[in-house]
Amino acid sequence: MTNSTAFWYASRATGVVALVLLTAVLVIGIAINRQARVPGLPRFAVTDLHRNLSLLAVAFVGVHVLTAVLDTFVSIPALAIVIPFTSGYERFWLGLGAIAFDLIVAMIATSLVRGRMNRTAWRAMHLTAYLCWPVAFLHGLYASGDLRQGVLSDVALGCALILAGAVTWRLVSVARQRPRASRVAAELAAAERQPPAAQTGPGLRSARR
């Protein structure tokens, strides 16, 4: 096997792993946002897992783009990693990959300095994850034929379904959430229905419920 082929296979393999990791990162992020518990894991472990998996995903994405550039079978200039639609090979679908790459880099960079930046700006940047995933997914689906056949197509479909389920759950949960303005009236009504001395337990915990 030539070096070239090795790079090409490495790129394809790390790409698949990166997509799976990205899916996991998003699902865990949704769980954190909804304050759902992962059985057996303390809350800080879930936030740690989110962070570690995202760094791992970046590592795999890094190897994925590097090996794609190093491979000589198709010509992909290094600049095409960050600037979309500048490669000769599969200009559009690779371009999507570059967009996803840029978004991931921005997300990681802002998260590393999030203690020092405006919280709303950080949150807005972080929400681009929902844009990043479908862009990365389409890139994966069409930049090569891997995800459209065999086992890998099941993997791709599985990722898409799991993420769609998680996103639906998040949207439904947000829609059912009591708006802030009526929370106070609801808490007062709830307290008045129950005898006060009995409310020594957790009661209505989250400010969102």
CB of 19 to another protein, least distance (A): 24
Token pair for 14: 């790390």
Start-to-end CA distance of the chain, whole Å, equals 59
CA distance 61 to 201: 46
Binding another protein (rule: CB under 8 A), the pick from 10, 47, 128, 153 is: 47
What gap in Å lies between CA 204 and CA 126, rounded to an integer? Answer: 29
Q: How far apart are CA 188 and CA 155, in angstroms?
A: 49
Does 205 bind another protein (CB under 8 A)? Our answer is yes
Q: Does 199 bind another protein (CB under 8 A)?
A: yes
User: CA-to-CA distance for 173 and 177, rounded, in angstroms?
Assistant: 6
| Look-up of token digits 């599969």 | 90
Q: How many residues bind another protein (CB under 8 A)?
A: 38
Q: What radius of gyration, in Å, describes the C-alpha atoms of the chain? A: 21
Secondary structure of the chain: what % helix, strand, coil (to 5)? 75, 0, 25
Q: Is 195 in the site for another protein (CB under 8 A)?
A: yes
Kindly tell me which of 102 and 183 has the beta carbon lying closer to another protein.
183
Question: What is the pattern of x (binds another protein, CB under 8 A) and - over residues 100-139?
Answer: --------------xx---x--x-----------------
CB of 47 to another protein, least distance (A): 5
* Residue 112 CB, nearest approach to another protein (Å): 10
- Out of 10, 13, 17, 32, the residue judged to bind another protein by CB under 8 A: 32
Residues that bind another protein (CB under 8 A): 32-33, 35, 42-44, 46-48, 114-115, 119, 122, 179-185, 187-188, 190-192, 195-197, 199-208
